[in-house]
Structure 1
Amino acid sequence: MSETAMPPVVSADEWAAARAELLVAEKEATRTLDRIAAQRRRLPMVRFGEYTFTSAEGPVTLRELFGEHRQLAVYQFMNAGPDAFCGGCTYFTQNVANLDGLARNDIAWATVSDMPIEQMAGYWKEMGWQHIPFASSAGTTFSADCGAGGGFLLNLFLRDGDNVFRTYTTGQRGVDHLLFSSTVSDLAAYGRQQDWEDSPAGWPQAPTYG
């Protein structure tokens, strides 16, 4: 017998009733998220400055990160110092996938960081992130101008010709909600098994980045 606490065992009818009750709350949350998404699509935008980053191939501008796409998502990877890497940013980047799907929606992706390009390139190689475009924002005010404050942040941009505008930004739990592994874990009985979650007594939990 397992020593870990588990959900109570009930009849099929009782489970179906409890699931139906939860479904009502889930559908309302979905409708709320749809309303928020509609409001997000109606946000105004603000013109953003010109920045020149450093890529593994040489200088690259913010405009050039778009490629031929009209929209660009930029994740600001936290700079944790010359011999360290942000665990949260690493976990997030491990979840970045299906960039071809973004491209079909006319969205390019890039990860930037105030880390030196040599440090980024070495980490990208070590982690096997060859599919994720990256550039160093070291020596620029991009991170500060975005409001990252030395942390992590996701920004969305739109271009009109060579003019670049910021349309949206999110951080903290707004970024967290984008993670495939976290989203699927939220559907499982034990959740993410992290100590900040509101879980029943006896559920397995550990520090988020322990």
Structure 2
Amino acid sequence: MHLENAPEPAVTDRAAFEARLAELRVQEKAHTRAGDRLAAARRRLPVVEVDARTPVTGPDGPVPLIDTFEGRSQLITYYFMWHPGHPAAEQCEGCTWNNTQVDELSYVHSRDITYAVFCQGPYEESKRYHEFMGWKMPWYSAQPSLDTLLEGRRIGSMHVVCYLQRDGRVYETYWTTSRGVEAVDINYRLMDLTVYGRQEPWEDSPEGWPQTHGPTPETPDVHPFRSDGRPIAHWSRIRAGRSDDLTT
């Protein structure tokens, strides 16, 4: 959507602009420091042991959970929602949105952390989706072990789960779901810096601001992560000639 006809914010001079921005900076710094305190609290959480032998399926077949660390001491896993037997266009647009932003992993590797996707669907079918998207992160199917790995949580929802391994044993250290998985998302962080924001109906924006990227009572089928019936990132892959056939 082009924004040429969107309402314009109030125009002021440089001094007034900087004064209002200085007021906002106080709130931004408080928000940053609150985030630091939350991160500090996460580092002080107790952990719970998970069977290190829990199987997941990768390119070489079933492997134990501890092997997915790739020799590192920490593991971040994204539990990717999956609709078995459905075509690529009907797979999870939110999980696609998030993981399309995961590219360069050397930075997390430098902190002794592995990032991997644990798909909640079958390996062969979902691996073809991974290839269609052109993703490079490690990809596994956790489908046979979801009752163990997501114990007490809603299977089928997106989750980010963190683990630690020590002396052959694996511990779960943190997990989040719903908007918590925005930790993977840089695009929303960038949009939040702009004058029109995410342009989604739930946002608190001035009257008349564009908010067309999301469902409303009048447009219940509009989704912020889809365009013309597909996850947004699909279209560049289709134009590049990649096949999204998940059945062959």
Report the TM-score when normalising by structure 1. Answer: 0.94
Aligned residues with identical type, % of pairs: 35
2:139 is the alignment partner of 1:134: yes
Instruction: State the SS of the aligned residue for 2:151.
Output: helix
| Matches of 1:73 and 1:21, distance apart in 2 | 37
| Matches of 1:138 and 1:67, distance apart in 2 | 20
Asked if the contact 2:81/2:92 (under 8 Å) is kept, the reply is: yes
Query: What stretches of structure 2 of length at least 5 have no aligned partner?
Result: 215-223, 227-248
Deviation readout 1:85-126 (Å, 9 max, x if unpaired): 111001011111321100100001110112111111110111
Deviation readout 1:130-161 (Å, 9 max, x if unpaired): x1101111222245426243211000000112
2:103 is the alignment partner of 1:101: no
Q: Tell me by how many angstroms 1:55 deviates.
A: 1.0
2:118 is the alignment partner of 1:115: no
Deviation readout 1:24-70 (Å, 9 max, x if unpaired): 00011111111111111111111012311111221121100001100
2:60 is the alignment partner of 1:57: yes
- Matches for 1:22-37 after TM superposition, within 5 Å: 22-37=24-39
Which region of structure 1 is more displaced relative to structure 2, 64-73 or 135-144? 135-144
2:71 is the alignment partner of 1:68: yes
Structure 2 match to 1:124: 130
Q: Tell me by how many angstroms 1:13 deviates.
A: 0.7
Runs of 4+ in 1 over 4 A off after TM superposition: none
2:163 is the alignment partner of 1:161: no
Note the aligned Cα RMSD (angstroms).
1.6
Structure 1 match to 2:232: none
Deviation readout 1:147-192 (Å, 9 max, x if unpaired): 2432110000001121000001111111114311111111111111
Query: What stretches of structure 1 of length at least 5 have no aligned partner?
Result: none
